[in-house]
Structure formats: C-alpha cells, structure tokens
Structure 1
C-alpha cells in the first residue's frame, strides 16, 4: 500500500456480543502496526470497551467520536496515540444517545464517512469497532467502509445470527454504499478439542457463501488478561497462539487488499 493511497476502511461487525469483536479490532490493529501500517481504530460502541482495552478511561475523556458525529469537533482533534502504534478515535457512554440524536438528521448515514474523509490519506487502514447491534451506528460504519469483517464465535447460536447481519450488509449496499463487500468471517473462541467447534467452522463458508478469514482465533485466558493491562495480546502475550493467529489474520487482510487492487 502506498503512502498516498486512501485508507482501507473495514467495519468489524456482529450484532451478537461476546464474539471477541473488540479483541479482534485491538489485536488486528496492533498486528497491522507491527507490519508497518498506519492504523486508526474507531470505537463506535457506547460501552467503550475498545477505548478501555487500549488503556484509556472513557469516563475521563471530554471529547469522543460522539462529538465528531454531531459535528461539534473534527475527528483529528479527538485522536489519541496508543502505546502499540495504532491511533484511537475513542468512545464514551455519551454515544448511547447518538441514535436518538441522529434520527432526524438529514443524510445521517453519511456522517461517519464524511468525518473520516479528512483522515483518509493519513492512515493505511481504519478499523471500525461496531456496537453489538444493527442500529444506526453500525449502519454508519458500513456506509463508511469498503469491507465488513465478521468475528464469529464457533458455536451454533453465534452462527445463526450471520444471516441477519448479511441482510443488513446487503441493505446498506443497496441504499448507501454500493462498493461495500463482505471480506469474510473471522472464527473466534475456537476450541480445537471439541467436535462442535470444528463442525461450525466447517459449515460457516458453505452455509453463507462467504470466505473464512483464517486461521481461527483460539480460545485463551490470555485475551481476558490483556484489557486489564490496557494493551492487546500482541503486547501482553506476544508469543502466545492467539497473538500468532492475529498476526496471520493481519497478513491475510493485507493480502486480500493486494488481490483486490491488482
């Protein structure tokens, strides 16, 4: 990727919580930074888990992506440097009121896209951490993005929600963002010891006709330990299988971009 190119924007989305979505954003972001990419992470979840996981207390922040979406400040004025390399556009609990506040805004679906446009040449990759819902914030993310990555826990109930998410992707593609593509499913919380996890992994691509971005991310207590340190697993357990898996995923994402531009 050349430094003059516009950033590739990826929405990381799943309306089901507990699928390692935020963990994936933080870990992929750190892995991409290790690969020399200029990375921006955008926290669009009112729970602000990404912001907290990267070492910042949302309750102490005076400005966040909430004010950016309302047009009160520019995104560049809110950016925070993280210790691992990626830059963060943080969230606070105020974001919980965004859907109601944006409901009557004309062209609301384009607000995030417009806010990120001035940053497009400052970064190589922008990862959007969507909330665990299919509301307006997820729609804003998909409208701004060129691709959607779907973290999916390798269990049946998580598997069943993919169809609903894909319906939302296709609606956004038809109404607000024709260039939006599904990058694929990222299997998470994978336990290779169980037949159930292996069965779900085998079925994902065939059932929905979408790619599986690998390798699957293994289930590990190391992921729960990382947010307490305000770092990703690439910093807290660099030699772990989970960290290695996310490095491979980051390389795979760069490979998909290369293939798309050749």
Structure 2
C-alpha cells in the first residue's frame, strides 16, 4: 500500500538515484527566504548530507553573517581567518583555500562569519556587484555536483548575488500564514533577477518545513501552498521535531546524528525528489 503524504495523496514512487561516473560541473541552488526561522539552514545542511549519501559531492556556501550553517557543520565561525567574505572582497583571496572539509562525507563548506555583514555595504561600489559570488564559484564548480547557498533572511545585495550565481532556487517555507504572505515579495525578486541578470534562473520548488499535522492552521496553510505552487511544491514535507535542534547542537546533520529518525528519512526523500525532478545530477 502506497504511503500517503501530508495532503492526503499517495506519495510518488521515486527511483533510487543513479550512481555518477564523474563529478561536476555543479548545479548551484540558492536556499532563499527573506523570513527568518523557516528552517532554511537546517534544510541546507540536511539536504547536502542526504545528497552526499547518494554519492553526490556537495559544497555548502554559508552566505549568512550569523554563520549558522558553518556552526551546524562543526566549524566555529569566530575562529576563521578566511571566509566567504574574503573571497568576495579580496581579489587575491583563493576560494580553494577558504573551503573546508566537514565531518559529513562528500560535503565541503565555504564558511561565513559576522565579517560578511560588511560586504553588503562594500559591494555597492564594485563593478558587476551582483556577479561577484558567481565569478568565484565558477572556479570550483567542476569539483562538485551540487552547490547549496544558504542565504541570509533578507532580499539585499548578498541574496541577489546568490540568485545571480544560481541555476535554481529552493524556498523553505513554514506552514504558517505569515510565512505564506512573505513569498510574493520573494518571487517578485526572483523574477527581477531572472529578467535582468540571470535568465537561466528557475524555482526548483517550495518545501514545507516545521509542519505540525496536529494543528488545523498548519493543514490549512499546506493546502494554500498546494493551491499557490502546484507542482512546484515538493511532495516531501519536513515535520517539526526536537531532533533537528538536537542535531544542530551536536553540529552534525540529522542523517548521521539520528539516521533512522523520520526527519532523516524526510531529507533523504527530498534529495531523491530533487534528483528525480532534474534539480540535481
């Protein structure tokens, strides 16, 4: 009997992701939502780890001055001399030297810390200021199958840089009414970047996060998401669980912290779904 998803429909049967005979060039995906607290960093870390379990080489770009993705992958952002900030602002900085291995196999990290907050102001005077990240990622693109950019909760110049560098966008969205209202502004920004800077940019999908099926509100919002996004809404729904903050404290993905947990299974399924849709090789 087929499993039923959160919308009450049978889940699609997804094929096992095929093994890759070679790696790269990477498909770059920006994880974007200007609203904070929607599970963006959690989704970036765990999707990266799940893709890596399927043999994909993944680079996580921490593009948030809070450095949450760096901390979540076991790197102390305050002790770093070389971060994504240096890669953006210093033409002599080597992106290869800034990239760090993580405890998750096949997952590397381009870390960030509070220094990145200065880049928003400093980039204003740069030539081709929206393309700085894209030009740097091109130097390492052939090493990876997927590059995931964990964006800050803002639609400023850093996020525009991420969108200019990306092939696709994944929008993590909590099943709450106020989160839903913010999406219109985000999709408008994506449309503008697509029109003016990056014509190849597309929305890969919207993933519902922190879902609590016990509340009528969450079920209603999920229904609204389904109406608004249709096929763009991933079938996989990430349910609310205490295991995610526990894994964050342990500084590792849930796929290794609690590999048998339903949360780990959900991110593995999200990775399968992304690959099946052509959003990742």
What's 2:156 paired with?
Answer: 135
Q: 1:238 to 1:8 in 2, by over 3 A?
A: same
Deviation of residue 43 (structure 1)? 0.2
Across the aligned residues of Structure 1 and Structure 2, the Cα RMSD in angstroms comes to 1.5
Query: CA separation in 2, counterparts of 1:29 and 1:5?
Result: 15
1:194 to partner: Cα distance: 1.3
Q: Secondary structure at the match of 2:256?
A: helix
1:4 Cα shift? Answer: 5.2
- Rounded to whole Å, the distance in 2 between the matches of 1:196 and 1:224 is 23
- Unmatched 5+ stretches in structure 1: none
Give the CA deviation at 1:208: 4.5
| SS of 1:226 mapped into structure 2 | helix
Q: Who is 1:92 aligned against?
A: 113
How many residues are treated as equivalent by the alignment? 260
Give the Cα–Cα distance (whole angstroms) in 2 for the partners of residues 219 and 90 of structure 1.
Answer: 27
Q: How does 1:1-262 map onto structure 2 within 5 Å?
A: 3=22, 5-70=24-89, 71-85=91-105, 86-208=107-229, 211-257=232-278
Which whole-Å CA distance do the structure 2 matches of 1:42 and 1:111 have between them? 14
Alignment partners' CA distance in 2, 1:137 and 1:198: 33
8 Å contact 2:23–2:57 — kept in the other structure?
no
- Closer/same/farther in 2, CA of residues 66 and 72 from structure 1, 3 Å limit: farther
Give the Cα separation in 2 of the matches to 1:127 and 1:222: 22
What TM-score does the superposition give when structure 1 sets the normalisation length? 0.96
Q: Secondary structure, in 3 states, of the residue corresponding to 2:103?
A: coil
Q: Is the 8 A contact 1:45 1:129 kept in 2?
A: yes
- Displacement of 1:156: 0.3
What CA distance in whole angstroms lies between the structure 2 residues aligned with 1:5 and 1:43? 20
* DSSP-derived class of the 1:97 partner: helix
Q: CA offsets, 1:125-147, max 9 Å, x none?
A: 00000000000110000000000
**Poorly superposed stretches of 4+, deviation over 4 Å:** none
Q: Cα offset for 1:3? A: 2.2
In structure 2, do the counterparts of structure 1 residues 95 and 210 end up closer, same or farther at CA, with 3 Å as the change threshold?
farther
| CA deviations over 1:84-141 (Å, ceiling 9, x no partner) | 1200000011001011010110101111110000111100000000000000110000
